[in-house]
Amino acid sequence: MLAPDSTLVSEQGWQTTAATGSPQHAKKFNNQDFNRLRALCLSQGLLFEDATFPAHISSIGPNLLPEVKLRRIQWKRPTELQRNPFLIIDGVSRFDIMQGEIGDCWMLAALGSLTLQKQFLENVLPKDQGFQDNYAGIFHFRFWQCGEWVDVVIDDRLPFLNGRYLSVHPRTSNEFWPSLLEKAYAKLRGSYQNLHGGYLSDALVDLTGGVQVQFSLKDPPSDLEEILKAAATSRCLMGCSTSGHLRRNIELRNGIVQGHAYTVTGAVKIRYKNSWKHIIRIWNPWGHGEWKGPWSDDSPQWDNVEPQDREAYLRNKDDGEFWMSCENFQEQFSWLYVCNRTPTFLDFGDQHCTTWSVDRHINLWNPVHRNKYSSAGEVSKNPQYFFKVPDYGPKTYNVVISLMRKHADDMQDAKNLKIGYLITGENSKVLKQIFSLTRDVTNYFILSPGTYAVIPATTEDQEFEFLLRIFMKNQDYNENSNSLPSPVLPMDVPRQNQDSSYKAVFLRYAKQGSAIDALQLQQLLNEVILQDEMTSLGGKFSFDSCRGILALMDLNSNGRLTLQEFGSLWRSLTKYMDIFIKEDRNHSGFLDVSELKNAIQTAGMSPGAEQLFFLSLWQ
């Protein structure tokens, strides 16, 4: 059953309620408007002081340091530290980062990976700020939180202990983006103390809004090297971690630190002697401390590679970055984390022309839905979310399911709350069940074609809000494909060339011919898709619904649809228009309950009686 208080999402991921904030239209954290606050400070000649995250022990946290040290904390602005401070000097790089006293290597490892992927970095680090023009001691950064981007405003007062940075410090003394971004993340999490120990997987998602998968290196998948190669070529964010106590880092003789998070910055196949060797490049957020074994900076292995490869890959500096073999990587590290907007790291081998679609569902877990997840009888009372696996062809990873709980840090006993989900087949038999104490429970599967249900569950009588995302692999359609659906096209669009028709429609409404925003999408849908009689009956696309559609189809997370993204939307629209017209047997322009049931089943979903009851109430 789809619970009545959930956010309804159709098969292709169309959200029908209020839209999720894009990076450019992010939700204002604590209702603080950066532009308005900066303008106010400039008009009054003041430097901003953030009352919601003050220069006070409360922002540090009571248990991060002994009380005697907490009392010695001083707060200083970059303008007090440097005569000519900059936010960014010569671009953003992982080598700008050097971890401070706080044990937030998990966040800095994710941040190091972010610097390699500019398409994500621009969402997090806005360009409309700095120390030169319109400086008022105020900055802002964006993070993704359970389905929406939030804009976090801070002042630029940074904590110091005994004259040294308490937080991350920049390698270049007058470059401050790492320290300020870390402060914004500390504010989002509640305090600097809440950064002292965490999950690399959480930070990767918070910085991208993507989906992350963890791979155990002690029991690795047989295709680990292929996954690494696919992740590197598809511009994924990657990190890894070692086992050990997260708050007590011990550096081993070989240079590897126990209980520590690292960034994976590259993976290549290199010519070595008379064969090929897979090697992996890794970076330590400390900014120093490197692997001393094979393929390290001074190892003899580099003497047996081609000179051009040695020149391209070897960087003999004490900057925390090093190479190691795939075998040593699996021996020394415990977990690999890979993150991207969609699970492109699972596209490898003979797979060609594939895309990933995503369904998103936001709901509130209520104790009334509680179950002992081992009880099959109780499972049926939980909210269920159906999806259909297409007959894709090759037997490969084709489904990724991610369940995330919202604001877990603020929940009572959150660390002891085990959440997860069950997957059932068409006969309601439980096929798989995944549970974890982490905030984000994500796994990947090979599922045969058919209809399945995902059932979120927990072990406690505790209410929490969650985001469920179901990623499915599909065969991509291109201009030469013979398998395109046969859509019902508007009267003024020639049917014989469907691809060129949607391109013509796109170019007619696209901003500067390159992208469509929510307002343009609303105009397009109402003018091109809907017929006059539907408009007269009040059947218009609202602006909020168009923002929702855009947010869910917008894989680039930039608040606009590209031609490729619009093509996916167009094919989905025309598919459902065909179904609607076929099932609207009396040509009334509406579907009654029986027609609606047939339409939903034709679309590949299996509605239950209670779900149909709620749908009938909306008519």
Please give the positions annotated as active site: 105, 260, 284
Burial 132-155 (b: 16+ CB within 10 A, else e): eeebbbbbbbbbbbbbbbbbbbbb
User: Could you tell me whether strands 148-155 and 27-28 are parallel, antiparallel, or unpaired per DSSP bridges?
Assistant: parallel
Element at 158 (helix H, strand E): strand 158-161
In sequence order, the 6+-apart residues with CB closer than 8 A to the CB of 196 are: 61, 64, 102, 103, 104, 247
Q: Which amino acid is it at 538?
A: G
Give the type of residue at 223. D
Q: Is 184 exposed, middle or buried, given 0-12, 13-18 or 19+ CB atoms closer than 10 A?
A: buried
Furthest-apart CA atoms within the chain: distance in Å: 80
Phi and psi of 95, rounded to 5°?
A: -75, -5
Q: Single out the residue of 318, 312, 310 nearest to residue 284, CA to CA.
A: 318
Inter-residue long-range contacts of 307-313, CB under 8 Å, 24+ positions, other chains counted? 309/270, 309/271, 313/266, 313/268, 313/270, 313/279, 313/281
CB 560 within 8 A of CB 551: no
Q: Taken in order 40, 41, 42, 45, is the CA torsion positive or negative? A: positive
Q: What is the CA radius of gyration of the chain?
A: 26
DSSP 418: -
Report the alpha-carbon angle 88-153-137, nearest 5: 60
